[in-house]
Amino acid sequence: MRAKGFTLIEMVVSMIIIGIVSLGLINFGVISSSIFVENKYRLHALEEARFVLARFGRELANTVPMSTRVLDEGRCLEYIPLQYVGEFAPEQLELDINNDDTVFPMAHPVGEQFSQCFTDPAQPCLVSVYPRASADLYLGADNAKQIYTLKSVSTQSITVEETLTRLPLTPSNRLFIYLPFAHQFCVENQQIRYYPSYSLNEQGLGMANSQPSVKFAQGVNETQNVFSLGFNGTYSSTANIKFSLNVNRGKEAVEFMQNAQILNSQ
Classify the C-alpha dihedral 79-85-87-92 as positive or negative: negative
Q: Identify the pLDDT of residue 26.
A: 62
Q: Identify the pLDDT of residue 39.
A: 65
In a domain, 34, yes or no: no
**Which of 162, 178, 194 is at the close of a domain?**
178
CA atoms of 73 and 223, how far apart (whole Å) = 9
User: Residue ranges of the chain with pLDDT lower than 50?
Assistant: 1, 233
Answer for the pair 226, 132: CB distance below 8 angstroms, yes or no: no
Same domain for 54 and 89, yes or no, is no
Same domain for 74 and 191, yes or no, is yes
- 3-class state of residue 134 by DSSP: helix
Same domain for 116 and 55, yes or no, is no
Answer for the pair 187, 143: CB distance below 8 angstroms, yes or no: no
Q: Which of 190, 197, 191, 177 minimizes the C-alpha distance to 59? A: 197
**Which of 178, 210, 234 is at the close of a domain?**
178
In a domain, 32, yes or no: no
Q: Is 155 exposed, middle or buried (0-12, 13-18, 19+ CB in 10 A)?
A: exposed
Same domain for 74 and 187, yes or no, is yes
Provide Rg for the chain, Cα atoms: 30
Query: Element (H or E) spanning 266, and its range?
Result: none
Same domain for 66 and 190, yes or no, is yes
Same domain for 126 and 145, yes or no, is yes
Q: Identify the pLDDT of residue 102.
A: 96
Domain boundaries, position 128: 84-178
Same domain for 61 and 103, yes or no, is no
C-alpha dihedral over 41, 44, 49, 52, to 10 degrees?
Answer: -140
- 3-class state of residue 172 by DSSP: coil
In a domain, 227, yes or no: yes
In a domain, 26, yes or no: no
In a domain, 14, yes or no: no
Answer for the pair 66, 133: CB distance below 8 angstroms, yes or no: yes
What are the residues facing 229 on neighbouring strands? 239
Same domain for 72 and 185, yes or no, is yes
Q: Identify the pLDDT of residue 48.
A: 82
**Which of 178, 200, 227 is at the close of a domain?**
178
In a domain, 193, yes or no: yes
Q: Identify the pLDDT of residue 213.
A: 95
In a domain, 18, yes or no: no
In a domain, 22, yes or no: no
Which residues touch 68 (CB under 8 Å, ≥6 apart)? 60, 77, 78, 79, 134, 229, 237, 239, 262
Same domain for 218 and 236, yes or no, is yes
The total number of structural domains that make up the chain: 2
Same domain for 209 and 143, yes or no, is no
Same domain for 172 and 195, yes or no, is no
Answer for the pair 147, 128: CB distance below 8 angstroms, yes or no: yes
CB burial of 10-35 (b: ≥16 within 10 Å; e: otherwise) equals eeeeeeeeeeeeeeeeeeeeeeeeee
In this prediction the pTM is 0.82
CA atoms of 15 and 10, how far apart (whole Å) = 9
CB burial of 122-136 (b: ≥16 within 10 Å; e: otherwise) equals eebbbbbbbbeebeb
Q: How far is CA 197 from CA 55, 151, 155, 203, in A?
A: 14, 22, 28, 10
Q: Identify the pLDDT of residue 214.
A: 94
Q: Identify the pLDDT of residue 2.
A: 55
Same domain for 72 and 186, yes or no, is yes
Q: Identify the pLDDT of residue 203.
A: 94
